[in-house]
Chain A
Amino acid sequence: MKPPPFELHRPTSVEEVLSLLAEHGDDAKVLAGGQSLIPLLNFRLARPEVLVDINRVTELDRISASPDGGISIGALTRQAAVEASELAVTRNPLLGDALRLVAHPQIRNRGTFGGSVAHADPAAELPVAIVATDATVSVRSRGGERRIPAGEFFVSHLTTVMADDELLVSVDLPAVPERCGTAFEEFARRSGDYALGGAAAVVALRSDGSCASAALALLGAGDVPIRAREAESAVVGRPIDAASAAEAARQAVRDTSPISNMHGDADYRRRVVEAMVERALLKAAGRAEARSS
């Protein structure tokens, strides 16, 4: 229950971090908030030879407005800081919905936005939120910067497209559609635990009340966050009511394969995710209506 020995580096600039990552390759792990990595070290599930602590790289701790109406969040920004940012949660209300569900306040005080995205836990909320809102993840190495659509960033359980020498530097979230409502619904056995299943919805309505656009992303339905494109198309053009939401939810989980473990088997989890899609759609539509009336 104590971390195994490691060599520790505490750089103060992105350039230094990139040099260290280039030098140590897959022997190194980046330490941001540590709210997932240090438990893994304490359990000895991870035994990196080198830790690169980025907590002194203050240039990565920022939230800024983008010209397109969206926001850009530096990787080291604490989750609590995003939650408390008027700019962030006004421009992307789904972030506020999602962050309230991320573990507990004490964890969010330390946990970082970029850390949660880079950790790529399929049961984590932030990866689902950035997939639902078509964010772009920027990663940098000494060779340059890559901008990766969130939907292509996650490869499998705890695995992303990032190479060993790349550092996640920021996540850019575009403006959400006008007259839209958002919702993040999940079911966990205890408040703050990793959820058994969940869903994020961003719904924009036309003036006649029918759905103009919908984005749906699933939590815990597979080993990465899943965009339910077919279910999205199924609700567009229709009013979002109990019947259309239930139909979309059924469709959203049709071909998914959640994991089975002692907390719930795949069938049960699929039904949980389905129920969360239904709830998220109805809640998001209700909020969109409230905003436009």
Chain B
Amino acid sequence: MKQEVSISINGTVYERTIDVRMLLSDFIRHEARLTGTHVGCEHGVCGACTVQLDGEPVRSCIMLAIQAEGHELRTVESLANGVDGELHPLQQAFHETHALQCGYCTAGILMSIEPLVESGEPLDEERVREALSGNLCRCTGYQQIVEAVLLAAARRAEAVE
């Protein structure tokens, strides 16, 4: 069963004719050609495919592409200012604290944690670990990821003051 869809990702509208069973993660990667979003377990456990649906982190591998119609999606490509441009402060903090090794899980982690950092809520280690409990990383042991998030949050708080 095929259907025409019109899906907005990072402010660009993608019009395609797709099978209704197409997963959102496959639409993002294969139709919109935005390969920053990674697919890990494909059953909602690893968090690698996390994107933002109307600003809220969701797993794109356990949602149908067609269900994203009428919503605004954001992927990791929306963070930095272009391919060679300035990194998002959260990405910059990840870079500085060595919060990634292979980087496969990073896009999902960034999209999971970005709304929390941007909310300005005071963060501590426990809160960050809770918010990232749904994102698996097999390289880092998480310590530097937590440090990166706290660093970005501290810088944001300073900038606001």
* Residue A80, interface by CB 8 Å: yes
Residues of B within 8 A of A1 (CB): 42-43
Q: In the docked arrangement, what's the CA distance between A38 and B134, Å?
A: 17
Give A1-19 as 1s and 0s: 1 = Cβ < 8 Å from B's Cβ atoms: 1111111101000000000
| Distance in Å: Cβ of A67 to nearest Cβ of chain B | 32
Residues of B within 8 A of A104 (CB): 47, 133-134
Residues of B within 8 A of A43 (CB): 43
- Using A2-B21, A4-B21, A34-B64 as known contacts, say yes or no to A107 and B134 having CB atoms under 8 A apart: yes
* Residue B101, interface by CB 8 Å: no
| Distance in Å: Cβ of B104 to nearest Cβ of chain A | 17
Instruction: Identify which of B53, B62, B112 gathers the most chain A CB atoms within 10 Å of its CB.
Output: B62
- Using A55-B67, A105-B134, A106-B112 as known contacts, say yes or no to A3 and B58 having CB atoms under 8 A apart: no
* Residue B1, interface by CB 8 Å: yes
- Using A106-B134, A192-B133 as known contacts, say yes or no to A35 and B44 having CB atoms under 8 A apart: yes
* Residue B154, interface by CB 8 Å: no
Number of residues on chain B facing chain A (CB within 8 A): 28
CB of B134 within 8 A of CB of A3, answer no
CB of A6 within 8 A of CB of B23, answer no
* Residue B80, interface by CB 8 Å: no
Q: In the docked arrangement, what's the CA distance between A119 and B57, Å?
A: 23
Q: In the docked arrangement, what's the CA distance between A106 and B61, Å?
A: 12
* Residue B77, interface by CB 8 Å: no
| Residue of B with least CB distance to A103 | B134
CB of B57 within 8 A of CB of A109, answer yes
CB of B44 within 8 A of CB of A109, answer no
Residues of B within 8 A of A192 (CB): 133-134
* Residue B20, interface by CB 8 Å: yes
* Residue B87, interface by CB 8 Å: no
Residues of A within 8 A of B90 (CB): none
| Distance in Å: Cβ of B82 to nearest Cβ of chain A | 27
Residues of B within 8 A of A35 (CB): 44, 59, 62
Q: In the docked arrangement, what's the CA distance between A105 and B61, Å?
A: 15
Residues of B within 8 A of A109 (CB): 53, 56-58
* Residue A53, interface by CB 8 Å: yes
Q: In the docked arrangement, what's the CA distance between A5 and B1, Å?
A: 7
Residues of B within 8 A of A55 (CB): 67
| Distance in Å: Cβ of A152 to nearest Cβ of chain B | 30
| Residue of B with least CB distance to A193 | B45
B-contacting residues, A35-49, CB 8 Å: 35, 38-39, 41-43
Q: In the docked arrangement, what's the CA distance between A42 and B23, Å?
A: 9
| Residue of A with least CB distance to B129 | A191
* Residue B63, interface by CB 8 Å: yes
Residues of B within 8 A of A10 (CB): 66
Instruction: Identify which of A80, A105, A110 gathers the most chain B CB atoms within 10 Å of its CB.
Output: A105
* Residue B50, interface by CB 8 Å: yes
Give B1-43 as 1s and 0s: 1 = Cβ < 8 Å from A's Cβ atoms: 1010000000000000001110100100000000000000011
CB of A110 within 8 A of CB of B23, answer no
| Distance in Å: Cβ of A127 to nearest Cβ of chain B | 19
Give B62-91 as 1s and 0s: 1 = Cβ < 8 Å from A's Cβ atoms: 111011000000000000000000000000
Q: In the docked arrangement, what's the CA distance between A107 and B43, Å?
A: 11
| Distance in Å: Cβ of A70 to nearest Cβ of chain B | 28
Residues of A within 8 A of B42 (CB): 1-2, 42
Question: Can you list 28 residue pairs at the A/B interface with Cβ under 8 Å?
Answer: A1-B43, A2-B23, A2-B42, A5-B1, A6-B1, A6-B20, A8-B3, A8-B66, A10-B66, A31-B64, A34-B62, A34-B63, A35-B62, A38-B61, A38-B63, A39-B44, A39-B62, A42-B23, A42-B42, A104-B47, A105-B57, A105-B130, A106-B47, A106-B112, A106-B134, A107-B59, A109-B56, A191-B133
Given contacts A39-B43, A42-B62, A192-B133, 20 further A-B contacts (CB under 8 A): A1-B43, A5-B19, A7-B1, A8-B66, A10-B66, A34-B64, A34-B67, A35-B59, A38-B23, A38-B44, A38-B61, A42-B61, A43-B43, A53-B64, A103-B134, A104-B47, A104-B133, A106-B134, A107-B134, A191-B130
3 smallest A-B Cβ distances: which pairs?
A104-B134, A39-B43, A38-B62
